[in-house]
Every structure is written in structure tokens, then in C-alpha cells.
Structure 1
Amino acid sequence: MTELYHWFDLIGIAVFAMSGTLIAYDKKMDGFGVFVLATVTAIGGGTIRDLILDVPVFWLHDQSYFIAIFVSVFVTTRLINKQKSIPLYHLQVADAFGLAFFSVMGAQKALLAGMPATTAIIMGVITGCFGGVTRDVLAGNIPMLLKGELYAITCIAGGIVYTQGITFNVATEMAMVLAMLTTLLLRLAAMKWHLTLHVFKYPD
């Protein structure tokens, strides 16, 4: 089971590193900037989560996370150099997959640390969103968390599905898959149909 969680973590790391690399390409950063942006995107949210939960930061003693980042950056840069352009939609899809993986893994880790369901959902949001927030701030963009289509709301929905699944004794793997699908499909639907949470009435 622990091995399965670790592979889920590595997949999420790789996908988020890819989205950071795509932003770095869009901002015309050099090699060091690419790696920095990919790294903060991949491990930023999980680092903040672990510090809040007062547990060992997940990447300190496991170099496989940095290997996953390096491989993701290498593959993504090679693809970009061949195609010469990456549509914004590809970035958003990569980010959506990372969001789905990390939000559920964050909630799962919080539950394992003995936190209640509400805290677990919040930790899922932090894990899924705050690496991207750091990425966008460093790149000089308004974080996707704060504008546009549904973002953090999708993490909350996935976290509710996961925590309630565990509460009702659904198999852990099934609860994780259902929660990830909930987050991913809701985010993709928000992107396709421009679903937003309006509060103010803005002029066109």
C-alpha cells in the first residue's frame, strides 16, 4: 500500500513539474529558472502541508522526487524544442492532472496523521494548489487559484468524496480513484464550459 501511495506521489510530482516547465517556457526562462519553477510547482504544496501538519517534509530523505522532477523537465523540454509551441490548453490539462493527484494525496496524508475530515480537505487544497500559486507568483502571473474557472473548489469536491468514502468504509484505493476522478473531471468541465464562482458583477 505504501509503495502504491509513493507511485501516486511521483506521478503527481512529474505532472506538476511539467506544468512548471511549460510556464517557464512561456516566460522564456533559462535552464536554472526552468528547474526552479518546475521544482516549486512539484513540491511546494506538499512542503507547506507537511510543515503545517508538523510531520517530516516528504522529500528531505527521498531523492526519487527530484529524479522524477528532473526526468519530467528533461522530457518536457525535449518535446517543446521539437514542437516549438505548447498550447495553453496543454498546460491547463497537465495542471488539472497534478491537481487531482495531489489534492487527494494531501487529504490522505492528513487522515493518516490523525486529522479530522475537514482538516484533511483543507490539507488537500493546500497540497494541490499552493505549488501552483508559488509557480504563478514567481512567473509574475495572477495565480489560477484566484481567478477564472473553478480551481480550489474542485479540490474541495475531491476531498469530500475521499473523506466520506473512508468514513463509509469504501476501500482506500477505490476512494482515492473516485476522488481523483471527481477533481479531474470537475476541473476539465470548468475549463471547457468556463464554470466560475461569481460574486461580483463585472462589465464585459
Structure 2
Amino acid sequence: MLDLGGTAVFALSGALMAARLNQTFVTCAFFALLTGVGGGSVRDALIGVPAFWLRDFWVAPVILAVALLAWYTPRRWWEGHWLEWADAAGLAAFSTLGTAKALAFEVTPLAAIILGIVTGCVGGIIRDVIAGVPSILMRPELYVTAAAVAAALCGVLILTGVQQTPAMAIAALAGFALRGAAMIWRIELPAYAKEG
């Protein structure tokens, strides 16, 4: 359920991006697909297993349903920060899922955490690049940091014996809380400043 939920909210962020850019429904659905499965597909390719969404019957229908929902919802309902909050939820969910899946495939702990970060971040990066907007990576906001917190906490909890489901839930909530705090209070990392 967390996997489908993460896919849905990331797909929503992709669909809303296309809607903001006044694109067609086809583009809306395509953005939903790329954002919803992009990071997990890269993770699975690196692990050497078939992409998760190719064998899960529900992923494609969920993405299509989310694209339809975004497309037919009046603009006033999702103006504001819906895109950012959907992206934050997807980031937190997929960072934990990516770490847990990598650990299940006996990837070393640090590499599993890195794969969790990749799973959480890559879909949004692909979305931004194709949309032609500045990537979140090029802004000082806590984005990758929130993914790293979720992924690392998930890895630590699982490796110390906490059951996978509660470990993932706790880690996802922590990552979402950090990303949400960064959006609300404009928490940023310091930028590199080379002294004269």
C-alpha cells in the first residue's frame, strides 16, 4: 500500500506540473508516469531486477486514475502548494521503499541508503528536466536532505531489528516532516561561497 501510495502522490505531482504548464491530457499522463515510476525504475535497474511497475497490475491504473483526477479537477482546487506537498509525500515514501527494497536484495547498508535517495529524488528530477523548469536540486531547499533522513532512518531501523512496516512508516513520516518544515519555514542549506 505504501508503494502504491507513493506512486500515486508522485504521479500527482507530475500530473499537476503538466497542468500548471497548460499541457494536454497525454502530457499530463506521461508526466504522471515518469514521476511516479522514474526513481523506482532506476533503482531496480541498478539492483538488476525487473522494474517494479512492470509486474504490478495496479501501478499503471493508479497512475492513469491520478492523471485523470488532476486533469478534471478545477484549477482553483490545486493552485497553491499541492504540487510541492504531493512531491514531499512521494519523496518520503519512495526514499524508505527504495532503502527497504535494496536491503531485501542484500545490497550493502550504505549503498541501500543511497538507492533509497535515488528512488525518492530521480522521478522529480526527470519531471523537472522534461518540463524545462529549474530542478529542485539546483535550489538550496532541504530536498535531498529529507530523502537522506528518511532513507537512513529506514535503514538503521531495519538493520537494528525493527519490523519493516513500522520502520518504513516512521522513516517516511520523519522525511515528510523535514521536507514540510523546510517548505513552511524556508529552511535551506548554506550555499558554497568561495572567499576572495
TM-score by length of 1: 0.90
| Alignment correspondent of 1:172 | 164
1:25 and 2:14 aligned: no
For 2:176, the aligned partner's letter is: L
| Alignment correspondent of 1:114 | 106
Following TM superposition, by how much is the alpha carbon of 1:201 offset from its aligned partner in structure 2, in angstroms? 4.5
| Alignment correspondent of 1:59 | 53
Following TM superposition, by how much is the alpha carbon of 1:200 offset from its aligned partner in structure 2, in angstroms? 2.8
> Where in structure 2 are the equivalents of 1:32-181 lying within 5 Å?
32-79=26-73, 82-84=74-76, 86-181=78-173
Sequence identity of aligned pairs in percent? 36
Say which SS state the counterpart of residue 54 (structure 2) adopts: coil
Following TM superposition, by how much is the alpha carbon of 1:150 offset from its aligned partner in structure 2, in angstroms? 0.3
Of 3, 8, 24 in structure 2, the residue corresponding to residue 14 of structure 1 is 8
Say which SS state the counterpart of residue 59 (structure 1) adopts: helix
| Paired positions, count | 194
Say which SS state the counterpart of residue 16 (structure 1) adopts: helix
| Alignment correspondent of 1:190 | 182
For 2:103, the aligned partner's letter is: L
Deviation per CA, 1:51-108: give whole Å up to 9, x if none.
Answer: 11111111222231100101111122222xx244633411111110111111100001
TM-score by length of 2: 0.94
| Larger CA deviation: 173-182 vs 105-114 | 173-182
Query: Any gaps of 5 or more consecutive residues in structure 2?
Result: none
For 1:24, the aligned partner's letter is: A
Deviation per CA, 1:112-136: give whole Å up to 9, x if none.
Answer: 0101111111111111110000000
Following TM superposition, by how much is the alpha carbon of 1:31 offset from its aligned partner in structure 2, in angstroms? 1.4
| Alignment correspondent of 1:3 | none
Say which SS state the counterpart of residue 8 (structure 2) adopts: helix
